[in-house]
Amino acid sequence: MMDFNTYFELLNLYSDYAMVCDSSEWEKWPDFFMEDAFYRLQPRENFEQGLPLCLLALESRAMIQDRVYGVKETLYHDPYYQRHIVGTPRVLSVTDNGKRIHAEANYAVIRTKFDGDSTILSAGYYHDHIVKTDEGLKFQSRLCVYDSEMIANSIIYPI
Amino acid sequence: MMDFNTYFELLNLYSDYAMVCDSSEWEKWPDFFMEDAFYRLQPRENFEQGLPLCLLALESRAMIQDRVYGVKETLYHDPYYQRHIVGTPRVLSVTDNGKRIHAEANYAVIRTKFDGDSTILSAGYYHDHIVKTDEGLKFQSRLCVYDSEMIANSIIYPI
Amino acid sequence: MMDFNTYFELLNLYSDYAMVCDSSEWEKWPDFFMEDAFYRLQPRENFEQGLPLCLLALESRAMIQDRVYGVKETLYHDPYYQRHIVGTPRVLSVTDNGKRIHAEANYAVIRTKFDGDSTILSAGYYHDHIVKTDEGLKFQSRLCVYDSEMIANSIIYPI
């Protein structure tokens, strides 16, 4: 179903993504996406009922870049560190001669305030469509379904 | 010691299992087990002292199916979401011409109440015996050793 | 860039290390390191500013062994269980004909007090240099950068 080299790349994609989100290197975040990719952050309750409302819905890499600008320059917020712990992805399908991968992975994001304890900011899973390009694997879409039903106005940095 | 295809299947077994437990698809949970499998949930203190008492001891797939019925139909409980974050399994042995795998993996299960925060419901590790069948890898036994010594009467869904 | 057997060994190194740290088998902990290895536990704030201060800086396997002696025999502390959940490592480089691996991995360590809840003791990432030896993969250096800026005087066991 999948050869080792692709699997190695896939696992590195997941861990690279996590590390970039946690390292305050947000300007690298858009590079994980195709130009026409979407990124959505949606509460599980809405997702399971087929309701469209998302906390964040970025419908192109340009919108993702704009979000980075917002995080770095305009959003007023109390800074914090975050740390993604992501389970091994489960591969749901590989199609188009190995060029398209459909996968999911559970995640938890831990927030550490500068003067405080570490707590769980968000838990949920990624539902991903990935394509093989000349520059490596990239997300065609990444949907983050998070378990909490509280409105997480405190989520500032990429999940 | 192990070929890539088997390892790929093994990692997918762990992540499929986690996702099924977290997706409220509990009727799929028994399918991960052999007909004569056991599933046990035991506090670390008892396990390390060789004491037999478990929080849950299901000694066949039929008992596992019965537990699913209990979770869905008869147990009175406050519903919650759960999310497994499971480390990469460490492979302890592969025997019987690659047909039997002995492995362990650390896990944390995060609980999110519908109107509340995300907290750690259970942390511990899986101690697993896995067999290769015509329908893919299945658990001959899964022992979950959990760190907390508090009696976790709030664990309802599969760990 | 990397063959399957080495990758399999690498993932097992990470999961073996985690399990040994969590199993109170601390006398096995030094075996993961080269004789002239270093192990450092450093707050992220210091690391990112290039400041040298570490919570713990062990500059050889002998010092690591001495730390084990301290944990087992001399440090006065309230005992607890710990559980590492470690993400898949991202491989940054493989050099010297496959003998040297440079990798990083996010981690969370969950602490469970014997009569209490499970909470996050430490979250951060490992920054590792690993070498292939006749006895398998070993750490030439392991730097643990942890997110919390609070002085964690409660970290007793290996991270």
Query: Which ipTM score applies to this complex?
Result: 0.94
List pLDDT tens digits, range A105-122. 999 999 998 878 899 999
| Lookup: tokens for A146 | 């998070």
Contact call for C91 and A119, based on CB within 8 A: no
In a domain, C89, yes or no: yes
- Domain contains B103: yes
- Is the Cβ of C91 closer than 8 Å to some Cβ of chain B? no
With a CB cutoff of 8 Å and minimum separation 6, the contacts of C92 are: C102, C103, C104
pLDDT range class, residue B73, cuts 50, 70, 90: confident
Q: Residue A154 domain-assigned?
A: no
Which CATH number belongs to the domain containing residue B58 in this structure?
3.10.450.50
How many domains are there within chain A? 1
Domain that holds residue B77: 4-146
pTM of the model: 0.96
What is the pLDDT at residue B94? 97
For residues B39, A103, A152 and A84, what is the CA-based torsion angle, rounded to 10 degrees?
80
Q: For A72, which DSSP code?
A: I
**pLDDT given for residue C150 in this prediction:** 73
Which chain C residue is nearest to residue A24, measuring alpha carbons?
C48
d(CA C110, CA C89): 19
Residue B159 lies in a domain: no
Q: Can you read off the two tokens belonging to residue A56?
A: 């964040």
Residues of chain A with pLDDT under 50: none
Tell me if chain B has a CB within 8 Å of the CB of C108. yes
HSE at residue B98, side-chain half, CA atoms within 13 A, is 10
Under the banding of pLDDT at 50, 70 and 90, the label for residue C153 is: low
**Number of other CB atoms surrounding residue C74 within 10 Å:** 7
**For residue A153, what pLDDT is reported?**
64
DSSP string spanning B44-110? HHHHHTT----SEEE-SHHHHHHHHHIIIII-----EEEEEEEPPPEEEEEETTTTEEEEEEEEEEE
Q: Which of B9, B83, B109 to mutate to test the interface with A (most CBs of A within 10 A)?
A: B83
Q: How many CB pairs under 8 A join A and C?
A: 74
Q: Return the partners of chain C (3 or more C-beta pairs < 8 Å).
A: A, B
Chain A residues 113-132 with a CB less than 8 Å from chain B = 119-120, 122-125
Confidence band for C147, pLDDT divided at 50, 70 and 90: very high
> Looking at the domain assignment, is residue B157 inside a domain?
no
